[in-house]
Amino acid sequence: MTAPRRPLPQWARDASLGIFVHWGPYSVPAWAEPMRALGAVPDDEWFAHNAYAEWYANTIRLEGSPAAEHHALTYGDAPYEDFLDAWRAEAYDPADWARLFRAVGADYVVPTTKHHDGVALWDAPGSGDLTTVARGPRRDLIAPLADAVRAEGLRFGVYYSGGLDWSFTDLPPHRSSDDVAALRPTDAAYAAYAHAHVADLVDRYRPDLIWNDIDWPDAAKQPGPHSIESLLAHYRDAVPEGIVNDRWGAKVWDYRTSEYDHDTDHEADAGWEHCRGLGFSFGYNRVEDASLTLSPRELARLYADVVSRGGRLLLNVGPTAAGEIPDVQRRTLEGVAPWMTAVKPHTIGRRVIDSDAVEVTDATWWRAWATPDGLVAVVDGPAASARARDGRAVTTFVLPN
């Protein structure tokens, strides 16, 4: 299935920073082995040693995995759904989140609305009691965040796991990438279920962006009332400037994505997006301390690298089960905020340039891009200087300490 490519709307071309939010029942155990980044670990090792806390429901099913051992020692044989009932979100303050995201320079915010565990964070149609309205927090967690984000002048998107739903099927756990492709719901019943979910998200929240994950049920890749084509037609009618990512298992995307060290070959087309957490996990992992979390300096360097190559950075935060941004993550965001506030205006209308367009001296690392007003250089080194070989003005920023 192929859809004609559309040019990205101006807001997406100018955007350079999004905030991802992974929050779910997995935030209650909040545990994963902080192995290394996705893409830097062999596939036959990754799944049993999964660094993603949001994959907890899968990893604890793998006999002998560190997560299974941790679960048995901490929770015995308690089923994963117990974490939904234990989740309270008692400290959730979406206005505080939104203020923090705006302060760090975010252009858009994308929370998870349903992850692979199948738990919906709103009153999703057909989900029964597997929602935060029916159990746990007992309320819609998406609507107040959408309102708070937009009140701060940011755009609002939604994440949805269309490819995996461990609550919908009784399939074996995933032990490899091949399993992810093979052991997923693909039939007409799940296609109708997922279609109803995303259509409801569109109708309720009018998201500026839909971030689908893994794939989409195969039954929906053919024409019909629950097809991807009909779903995206509904979306684009409701939100003409709305955009979708590239994880549908079909060529319907508006932009490509990479994740940590995975799919870096996608970092080429205009408007590509790189996503990662502040640590190795997306969901909150209580094991990740400051040594496993990007510092303000490391975050600034990552951002400058992505921007210089024409991309956007979708940076994840993983709130605690209570709804607080962990101190170790908040320190990085607040620490980089002054630097980001200074740099962000110089990313509007940016264009990629050849490295030889700029001459940089006394820098151990640097990145540069063009804007309508000249060139911008980000350098590592307080004594570094930059000049354009064609005489254009260069605005220089030094990485924060």
Mean pLDDT, rounded, for 233-260: 98
Q: How many residues are listed for the chain in this entry?
A: 401
Q: Which residues contact 103 (CB under 8 A, 6 or more apart)?
A: 333, 334, 337, 341
Cα-Cα-Cα-Cα dihedral sign, residues 334, 338, 342, 345: positive
Cα separation, 66 vs 48, in Å, equals 7
**If you average pLDDT over every residue of the chain, what do you get?**
97
Query: What are the sequence ranges of the domains in the chain?
Result: 10-347, 355-398
**pLDDT value at 318 more than 60:** yes
**pLDDT value at 2 more than 60:** no
* pLDDT at res. 64: 97
Of the options 3.40.50.450, 2.60.40.10, 3.40.30.10, 3.20.20.80, the CATH number for the domain spanning 10-347: 3.20.20.80
Mean pLDDT, rounded, for 43-47: 94
Reported confidence tier of residue 269, pLDDT bands at 50, 70, 90: confident
**pLDDT value at 3 more than 90:** no
Query: What are the φ and ψ backbone dihedral angles of 114, each rounded to 5 degrees?
Result: -155, 120
Mean pLDDT, rounded, for 347-362: 95
Cα separation, 66 vs 80, in Å, equals 16
C-alpha atoms less than 13 angstroms from C-alpha of 362 in its C-beta half-sphere: 9
Reported confidence tier of residue 146, pLDDT bands at 50, 70, 90: very high
Q: What digits encode the pLDDT tens for the residues 166-214?
A: 999 999 999 999 999 999 999 999 999 999 999 999 999 999 999 999 9
pTM above 0.95, yes or no: yes
**pLDDT value at 4 more than 90:** no
Please write down the HEC assignment for all residues of the chain.
Answer: CECCCCCCCHHHHHCCEEEEECCCHHHCCCCCCCCCCCCCCCHHHHCCCCCCHHHHHHHCCCCCCHHHHHHHHHHCCCCCHHHHHHCCCCCCCHHHHHHHHHHCCCCEEEEEEECCCCCECCCCCCCCCCECCCCCCCCCCCHHHHHHHHHCCCEEEEEECCCCCCCCCCCCCCCCHHHHHHCCCCCHHHHHHHHHHHHHHHHHHCCCEEEECCCCCHHHHCCCCCCHHHHHHHHHHHCCCCEECCCCCCECCCCCEEECCECHHHCCCCCCEEEEECCCCCCCCCCCCHHHCCCHHHHHHHHHHHHHCCCEEEEEECCCCCCCCCHHHHHHHHHHHHHHHHHHHHHCCCECCCHHHEEEECCCEEEEEEECCEEEEEEECCCCEEEECCCCCEEEEECCC
Cα separation, 213 vs 160, in Å, equals 6
237, burial (CB in 10 Å: exposed 0-12, middle 13-18, buried 19+): exposed
C-alpha atoms less than 13 angstroms from C-alpha of 374 in its C-beta half-sphere: 14
Mean pLDDT, rounded, for 85-113: 98
Mean pLDDT, rounded, for 347-363: 95
Cα separation, 277 vs 281, in Å, equals 6
* pLDDT at res. 280: 97
> pLDDT above 70 covers what percent of the chain?
99
**pLDDT value at 274 more than 80:** yes
- In this structure, how many other beta carbons lie within 10 angstroms of the beta carbon of residue 243? 24
